[in-house]
């Protein structure tokens, strides 16, 4: 199998040269097939010359030529079917590979998003924790001060109440 890429912008002569190479390669393959068929016929004792004489005797020679052409057409069609099957299989495999690559990319993107969200959540948790600690640091002294203030007010009220009670008792 030939893999060819055109490297220059003009490319007309390269294309023609490559098409000539492809045609020559196909002709060589066709000649090789015919030679293998002739060799197989000779090995099996079916010399094409004897067969041709026999066919000429029976059908005037046209049948042999039609049989060879039919065989070539059938073989060519079979080769096209095999080639199309290979192309289709390659497309399916390529499609599966592309789907697999897309799935992996999607998975990686999702994992990256999850990592980013986890980092954001951790930062947010740190901020909330720091704010909570700051509020506690401010709240505890404020509450202590308020408790002291209420204790003083309670003592003052208690002393006033005792004074009023003493005044009532003295009356």
Q: Decide if 72 contacts 66 (C-beta within 8 A).
A: no
Q: Give the pLDDT confidence of 15-46 residue by residue, as tens digits.
A: 777 777 888 878 888 787 887 777 766 655 55
- Which H or E run includes 75? helix 62-170
Q: Decide if 62 contacts 70 (C-beta within 8 A).
A: no
Q: What is the model's pTM?
A: 0.34
* Count of CB atoms situated within 10 Å of the CB of 77: 10
31: number of CA atoms within 13 Å, CB side?
6
Q: pLDDT-based confidence at 143, cuts 50/70/90? A: very high
| pLDDT computed for residue 163 by the predictor | 92
Q: Give the pLDDT confidence of 38-97 residue by residue, as tens digits.
A: 776 665 555 545 554 554 555 544 555 656 777 777 777 778 888 878 877 777 777 777
């Amino acid at each position: 199998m030939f893999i060819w890429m055109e490297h220059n912008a003009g490319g007309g002569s390269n294309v023609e040269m490559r098409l000539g190479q492809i045609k020559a390669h196909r002709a060589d393959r066709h000649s090789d097939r015919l030679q293998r068929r002739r060799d197989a016929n000779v090995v099996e004792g079916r010399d094409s010359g004897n067969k041709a004489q026999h066919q000429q005797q029976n059908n005037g020679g046209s049948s042999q030529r039609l049989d060879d052409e039919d065989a070539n057409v059938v073989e060519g069609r079979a080769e096209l079917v095999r080639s199309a099957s290979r192309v289709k299989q390659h497309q399916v495999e390529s499609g599966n590979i592309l789907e697999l690559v897309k799935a992996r990319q999607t998975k990686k993107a999702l994992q990256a998003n999850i990592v980013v969200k986890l980092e954001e959540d951790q930062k947010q948790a740190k901020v909330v924790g720091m704010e909570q600690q700051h509020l506690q640091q401010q709240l505890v002294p404020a509450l202590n001060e308020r408790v002291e203030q209420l204790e003083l007010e309670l003592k003052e009220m208690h002393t006033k109440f005792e004074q009023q009670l003493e005044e009532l008792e003295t009356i």
